[in-house]
Amino acid sequence: MNLAPDALRLVERLGLKPHPEGGYYRETYRSDRGASTAIYFFLPEGERSRLHRLKSDELWHFYLGGPLNIIQLGPDGRVSETLLGPDIAAGQSPQHLVPAGTWFGAYPAPGSGWSLTGCTVAPAFEFADFELGRREELLGLYPHARREIELLTD
């Protein structure tokens, strides 16, 4: 882990581990009936949450650090960007919903250092419902989103 000291302390204090899409996480809640899950999701500047999609809705919550850019590629071909953060007057949003079936990824805003967020998924998150995007396939579907796809895929 090559993190700044304050970021490393936060990762260790919250017991976060590397997430397959990028960043760090720890599940904090899973309902007994599989209705919902919640995680902390930490993303240091310079890392990204690679484009992926879920079979469930995902609600993002801003907690600490700098704002986080969330990029979405909708089933209708629309590309959107939301800045998750605390400064509502500056156009940031402290909460953001990504609908099921939407390709999305995220990265900390330049100069932000890191972002600590929460993600709530309903119905509950299952890795079997997680699909990591493949660059060539996404470029074929969203040729107008080349910059975003190249930024958020390997």
Over residues 55-97, the pLDDT tens digits come to 999 999 999 999 999 999 999 999 999 999 999 999 999 999 9
Residue 33 is predicted with a pLDDT of 87
Q: How many CA atoms lie within 13 A of 84 on its CB side?
A: 29
**pLDDT exceeds 90 at position 2:** no
Question: How many percent of the chain have pLDDT more than 70?
Answer: 99
120 — pLDDT class (breaks 50, 70, 90): very high
Q: How many other CB atoms are found less than 10 A from the CB of residue 35?
A: 10
Burial degree of 99 (CB within 10 A; 0-12, 13-18, 19+) = middle
Provide the β-strand partners of residue 61. Answer: 95, 118
Average pLDDT, the chain: 96
Residue spans of the domains in the chain: they are 5-151
Q: Does the pLDDT at position 38 exceed 70?
A: yes
CATH of 5-151, one of 3.30.70.141, 3.40.50.1820, 2.60.120.10, 3.40.50.10190: 2.60.120.10
pLDDT tens by residue, 5-30: 999 999 999 999 999 999 999 999 99
Residue 1 predicted with pLDDT over 90? no
- Read off the pLDDT of each residue in 117-144 and give the average, rounded to a whole number: 97
Chain centroid offset of residue 153 CA: 13
How far apart CA 47 and CA 22 sit, in angstroms, is 7
Name the maximum alpha-carbon separation found in the chain: 42
Q: Rounded mean pLDDT of 99-123?
A: 97
